[in-house]
Amino acid sequence: MKIREVRLSTTPTQEALDDLQLGDIVYLDGLLYTAREGVYKRALEDKANIPMDLPSQSATNFHCSPAARINPDGSFEMGAVTATASFRFAKWLPEWFEKSGAKLVIGKGGMTSKDYKSYFVPNGAIYLSTVGYGTGALLGRGIERVEAVHWEEELGIAQAMWVIRCNKMGPFIVASDKHGDCLFERENDKIAKNLDRVYEGTRPATLKRYGETDDKSDELIG
């Protein structure tokens, strides 16, 4: 089956979001921002005003750590953007969706179908995952320019809210759809059915563990 590629605006229409299918490859155009625990705490817990007009300027939040610096003249340089694990931010998402109107959340590793159905579906939002590891420089090719950085003095470079103009940034993979179905859970279910056959005849793991768990079906991602 040929994988479908989609060019998508960072202020997408609901029709464009509803058309996305699990496993689609997405490239983004437009303005996106970075927001993770530092921004969530400042905007939601400290009640600070968000320093950009959301979602009209951007409806796309990237959970990442940018490889960036601020020059003495105030200009910016950003060579790469490395995604960080999104499951850590689930507790802030309901309030963030309400406050920001976000429609796309990008990160690493995905979230659970329970999170998608509880938080994303009621807001018509989609989760995009980065593809593979060590792709920060590849994603950096999609950075057209840095428009602004906010709260860098309070939060530091990694946690600040960076505003990035992107042009065909990607690839990202659609990890949740409009129904809240989860790509990783779907593929894990397929693989888990054959795990016994895959490991047939092999010796048991010395430490009785498989990655971070002793249940082979928990950790394997297709």
Neighbours of 188 (CB within 10 A): 17
Output the domain CATH number for residue 101: 3.20.130.10
In a domain, 151, yes or no: yes
In a domain, 94, yes or no: yes
The predicted structure's pLDDT at residue 210: 58
How many domains would you assign to the chain?
A: 1
Closest C-alpha among 22, 106, 92 to residue 64: 106
Structural domain harbouring 150:
5-185
Count CA within 13 A, CB hemisphere, residue 51.
Answer: 15
Closest C-alpha among 25, 18, 182 to residue 109: 182
Task: Tell me how far apart the alpha carbons of residues 149 and 163 are, in angstroms, rounded to a whole number.
Answer: 6
Neighbours of 166 (CB within 10 A): 24
* Contact present, 185 and 112 (Cβ < 8 Å): yes
pLDDT tens for the chain, 222 residues: list them: 789 999 999 999 999 999 999 999 999 999 999 999 999 999 999 999 999 999 999 999 999 989 998 888 988 889 999 999 999 999 999 999 999 999 999 999 899 999 999 999 999 999 999 997 778 899 999 999 999 999 999 999 999 999 999 999 999 999 999 999 999 999 888 888 887 787 788 877 666 665 555 665 555 443
* Contact present, 102 and 44 (Cβ < 8 Å): no
The predicted structure's pLDDT at residue 198: 76
pTM (2 decimals)?
0.88
The predicted structure's pLDDT at residue 34: 97
H, E, C per residue of the chain: CCCCEEEEECCCCHHHHHCCCCCCEEEEEEEEEECCHHHHHHHHHCCCCCCCCCCCCCCEEECEEEEEEECCCCCEEEEEEEECEHHHHHHHHHHHHHHHCCCEEEEECCCCHHHHHHHHHHHCCEEEEECCCCCHHHHHCCEEEEEEEECHHHHCCCCCEEEEEEEEEEEEEECECCCCCEHHHHHHHHHHCCHHHHCCCCCCCCCCCECCECCHHHHCCC
In a domain, 135, yes or no: yes
The predicted structure's pLDDT at residue 190: 85
In a domain, 154, yes or no: yes
The predicted structure's pLDDT at residue 130: 95
The predicted structure's pLDDT at residue 147: 95
In a domain, 41, yes or no: yes
